[in-house]
Chain A
């Protein structure tokens, strides 16, 4: 089986979906001729033609708004917002329109739309190329929010998202594009080809939304993570010698509550990790769900390890990033509690 980077598997997912369904169209800033600033759509215009994959003006609200109109016509757009940080001009179109058109029209119009956007830090992107706005989407009724952590999932989840009949926010941890980054920024980059989940089947396959994956079985503490933080949490468990059960959520809405609760009932302890800012982050939702459904199994308070409630700094990036050290210490506290 071929190994792929996350960029290659996302590119492949586009090609498979576009091949399978001629109503799939792809567009965004620099997406057409050039193939995207992260090259996730490279070659698609050449292969499928200019009306299936094309460039867009620098106007996120225009891109999302037009895609909603296209979806209402019967197309299945998969669009790219160049960085999640640039999403805000389109937020009204996403929240007030894409998310609600099925509901407010009682199914008369629907929006089968996938909006891809790179998220997270670790590339010295500063405050405007590093944000993780997943909670701004999970809070919105009518949206699904997906975030893969590896090439195999990225392809399968993206195909599922494109074929889904509702709007899906597809968040791509940009620090994972070229390798399974474990949070040790000062060590050599590990290529995806060394990771088992870089083995990506050819052709069409789906990874269902709402199904988490246990990346490391363990009995001491349940660690809930997604995206880049899955790899960082695994590194923390390894280096602090903690028998953690690391769960990769893969999709936040819908959420695989069963896997989470089963694990917490088994370990009796829980920690939540995300790169996004702490306050009102998705971790708060996870903590609430865990205490509601597994309160009497908990032996210590749930810990949240997250970005600080500040803008994402540039020079101090690695002090800000919730790396393996911060996670390891937090897990130790959960075990001692």
Chain B
């Protein structure tokens, strides 16, 4: 009897046992960082098709890497557009503002002025350059790591900070987790902590824009990890079905909290390849190269705005900071991995480009940094004068009951009365 059972369990002796694959990053804490498994093209190597080209002729773009800046800071290749100096300088300023803003808010979180914060260190070029390629009236559906979109659009820093502090000037009246901003006026949809839901909503907004004959386009944002959500698929199938005027951005910063990108990527070579099956032109772009981000964004914007349809873009970057103020990346990846990231730092690369073309100097840069830090300090002082989560005025508890519906229903009125507000 026992022989029979053993025989059943073994099955056919000539078959090899099946193996379950659990992805594992190349390096863990204590190891030397190693990104050799990632495939990068050289600057200028990837071709630039016309926006009107048929999507099925562009599948190669999903596996290359669009890069403009070479190691010497020169702009090379077909994606090197003629961008004027003022645009580049304002891009540099926006990125530096974003970084200094993050630095300050993270510090404030550590000092207990708020509960939570999320930085986008190393990813500034993506949101800053992308926003500069959009027009006013377009709508972003961001994740929590696109603060550069708001900052680039000129949204008041003290309002962002007030939201982070949940103070008496918080435009969201203390209801939302810090960094979950919202501004219709600045083309920034209310952020949700539930991942990927906004990716579909961006497609719907774009569909509405087409239904109403507007010229405004939408942009959806998602991280590499959240592409594993079914809403990623939902967004792709809706965008593809209705040829919606939307740009679908995947920010691949290599890490989803502690799990590295292979947990969403699976056996695919790139995230951009996900678009090919839907017939979407799909670009894979160096997200730390301001010029490449700007050029690819402008290309996708033109496609959407001229009724050519959606574009999927994978921005390849690296999450240089922790996932959030509650996270410690040294417990799952090498401490110095960010320094070893082969695509460098976006601010440093744009700075070197501007110096290389004679438009900038170290002295100019130092002065700009001082000016940016001063702007952050002034905004911070103003925001703090309206209170922080710990001290000073706060939104009223009475407000808990407001705004759940357009008009307060009786049961909420009763609950508010019973609560004594």
B410 close to A254 (CB less than 8 A) = yes
Given A97-B194, A106-B182, answer yes or no on A66-B411 (Cβ-Cβ < 8 Å): no
In the complex, chain B residues whose CB is within 8 Å of the CB of A255:
411
B184 close to A96 (CB less than 8 A) = no
A72 close to B194 (CB less than 8 A) = no
A300 beta carbon closer than 8 Å to chain B: no
Q: Which of B176, B211, B231 contacts A25 (CB 8 A)?
A: B211
What is the minimal beta-carbon distance from A135 to any residue of chain B, in angstroms? 15
B172 close to A104 (CB less than 8 A) = yes
Q: Which of B171, B183, B235, B406 contacts A65 (CB 8 A)?
A: B235
Which partner residue on chain B sits nearest A96 by CB separation?
B194
CA distance A104 to B177 in the complex (A): 9
A97 close to B404 (CB less than 8 A) = no
A105 beta carbon closer than 8 Å to chain B: yes
What is the minimal beta-carbon distance from B393 to any residue of chain A, in angstroms? 17
Given A59-B234, A106-B175, answer yes or no on A75-B203 (Cβ-Cβ < 8 Å): no
Which partner residue on chain A sits nearest B205 by CB separation?
A69
In the complex, chain B residues whose CB is within 8 Å of the CB of A51:
210-211
B201 close to A68 (CB less than 8 A) = yes
Which partner residue on chain A sits nearest B246 by CB separation?
A69
CA distance A62 to B200 in the complex (A): 6
What is the minimal beta-carbon distance from A208 to any residue of chain B, in angstroms? 12
B235 close to A102 (CB less than 8 A) = no
In the complex, chain A residues whose CB is within 8 Å of the CB of B175:
103-104, 106
In the complex, chain A residues whose CB is within 8 Å of the CB of B184:
105, 108-109
Interface size class of B (residues with CB under 8 A): 35 or more
Given A70-B208, A73-B212, A108-B184, answer yes or no on A65-B200 (Cβ-Cβ < 8 Å): yes
What is the minimal beta-carbon distance from B139 to any residue of chain A, in angstroms? 8
In the complex, chain A residues whose CB is within 8 Å of the CB of B197:
65, 92-93, 96-97
Which partner residue on chain A sits nearest B177 by CB separation?
A104
In the complex, chain A residues whose CB is within 8 Å of the CB of B271:
none
CA distance A170 to B184 in the complex (A): 28
Which partner residue on chain A sits nearest B218 by CB separation?
A69
Q: Mark B223-238, 1 if CB is under 8 A from A, else 0.
A: 0000000110111011
A104 close to B411 (CB less than 8 A) = no
A69 close to B141 (CB less than 8 A) = yes
A335 beta carbon closer than 8 Å to chain B: no
What is the minimal beta-carbon distance from A204 to any residue of chain B, in angstroms? 20
Q: Which of A57, A70, A144 contacts B204 (CB 8 A)?
A: A70
In the complex, chain B residues whose CB is within 8 Å of the CB of A75:
208, 211-212
CA distance A109 to B405 in the complex (A): 12
CA distance A71 to B190 in the complex (A): 13
Q: Which of B206, B207, B238, B406 contacts A166 (CB 8 A)?
A: B406
A218 beta carbon closer than 8 Å to chain B: no
Given A69-B205, A74-B212, answer yes or no on A62-B403 (Cβ-Cβ < 8 Å): no
A66 close to B406 (CB less than 8 A) = no
In the complex, chain A residues whose CB is within 8 Å of the CB of B406:
102, 110, 164-166
A sample of 23 cross-chain residue pairs with beta-carbon separation below 8 angstroms, ordered by A number, consists of A23-B212, A25-B211, A62-B234, A62-B238, A65-B200, A65-B231, A66-B203, A70-B207, A73-B204, A73-B212, A74-B212, A75-B208, A93-B197, A102-B403, A103-B404, A104-B176, A104-B180, A106-B403, A110-B406, A144-B405, A166-B406, A254-B409, A257-B411
B interface with A by C-beta (< 8 Å): 139, 141, 171-173, 175-176, 180, 182-184, 189-190, 192, 194, 197, 199-212, 218, 230-231, 233-235, 237-238, 241, 403-406, 409-411
Given contacts A57-B237, A89-B230, 9 further A-B contacts (CB under 8 A): A23-B212, A61-B200, A67-B204, A72-B204, A75-B211, A97-B201, A104-B182, A108-B184, A109-B182
